[in-house]
Amino acid sequence: MSGPLKVDMHLHMYPSRAEGEWWKTGYEIWEYGAGNVLWSEDAGTLEETSAALDRGGFAHGVVLNLFAAGPFRQQYESTLPPDMDAAQRARALAEFDATIGERYVAFNRWLMDTLAGVPAITGFVAMDPWALPPERNVAHLREMAERGARGVKLHPVLQKFEPNEPRLHPVYQACSEIGLTVLSHTGPARDGVPFAEVPAFAPMLAEFPGLTVVLAHLGGGKWRDTLAVARAFPRVAFDLCEIIEWAGAPGAPTAAELATLIRVIGPERVVLGSDYPWYEPARTAELVESLPVLSRAEKDAILGENAARILGLPV
């Protein structure tokens, strides 16, 4: 491909259009206020994901599995027949609850099996501290690494845990030993619990200084709190997905503020992510290109060179 190397570090993929559309409809993005946002029309199937990367001239993409029991239960319930009586519905949901660990494992296996023949897309598996006991989570993680996983995805808001949750300590230790990256959602929660606000990651980063960590969204709607943590922990990296699309909205930085934040943190520590299928990878790359303040070399690093270096990607 001509032009700079492009790597999308933050994609989501779904087994069917119906599942992808359910997640896009049900996942409310509220923290930035009103904005002039261009949404992707895709639902994130493998075919759509590959085509979206091709449209944007991307050499590689990283798909992040997200698993949280509550939303997955809601998604499952949405598939039950509408004429099912209350007792049948209760039994079906009880069966779902009793098999949540198996469903979690199956979801990660689906991702890695699907990507087995797709060298241009790397998989990060979901990691949920509640779906399995810690020792089984570590065993599952090692299995996924053997299948090609290069990291794990956390979402403290949806999964309802603090980043330094003790149940995740064995997972963090295993990631350090295996060489896997931890990528986590960051941003405020509607109920005000600061599970994923960037300062909440400081205890975890201090506890596991050798862990490779990427914090998504540059802090999201709490982006003003990001710089202090970035300065305190110079090894942590960030992706700019979503926040760059909302630049200029009431709860987001302007393009100039975002570029300045990136420059002060260090452009070598920031990677491109689109959060596809909510947004288009090609559009995210265009927004990076349009940022003020940053040099050509710094933009090239963000577009793909940083992700390739941090993950050791085959590009």
**Residue 240's closest CA among 210, 264, 270, 212?**
270
**In the predicted model, what is the mean pLDDT of residues 130-152?**
98
Residue 11: its H or E element: strand 7-11
- Look at residue 118 in the predicted model and tell me its pLDDT: 97
Q: Residue 309 corresponds to which tokens in the numbers above?
A: 């270096």
User: In angstroms, what CA-CA distances link 314 with 109, 178, 282?
Assistant: 22, 18, 21
- Look at residue 86 in the predicted model and tell me its pLDDT: 94
pLDDT digits (tens, 9 = 90+) for 45-72: 999 999 999 999 999 999 999 999 999 9
pLDDT tops 60 at residue 235: yes
Question: Tokens 């933050």 appear where?
Answer: 10
Residue 93: its H or E element: helix 86-98
Query: What does the alpha-carbon distance between residue 32 and residue 35 come to, in Å, rounded to a whole number?
Result: 7
Give CA 197 to chain center in angstroms.
Answer: 15
pLDDT bin (cut points 50, 70, 90) of residue 93 is: very high
- Look at residue 315 in the predicted model and tell me its pLDDT: 84
Q: Which CATH number is associated with domain 7-71+105-311?
A: 3.20.20.140
- Look at residue 45 in the predicted model and tell me its pLDDT: 98
- Look at residue 314 in the predicted model and tell me its pLDDT: 78
pLDDT tops 80 at residue 1: no
Partner residues linked to 213 by β-bridges: 182
**Residue 91's closest CA among 105, 109, 77, 107?**
77
**Residue 40's closest CA among 216, 283, 218, 273?**
283
Kindly provide the residue ranges of all beta strands, DSSP E only, lying in 82-227, ordered along the sequence: 121-126, 151-154, 181-184, 212-215
pLDDT bin (cut points 50, 70, 90) of residue 153 is: very high
Query: What does the alpha-carbon distance between residue 139 and residue 204 come to, in Å, rounded to a whole number?
Result: 21
- Provide the mean pLDDT of the chain: 97
User: Where along the chain do its domains lie?
Assistant: 7-71+105-311
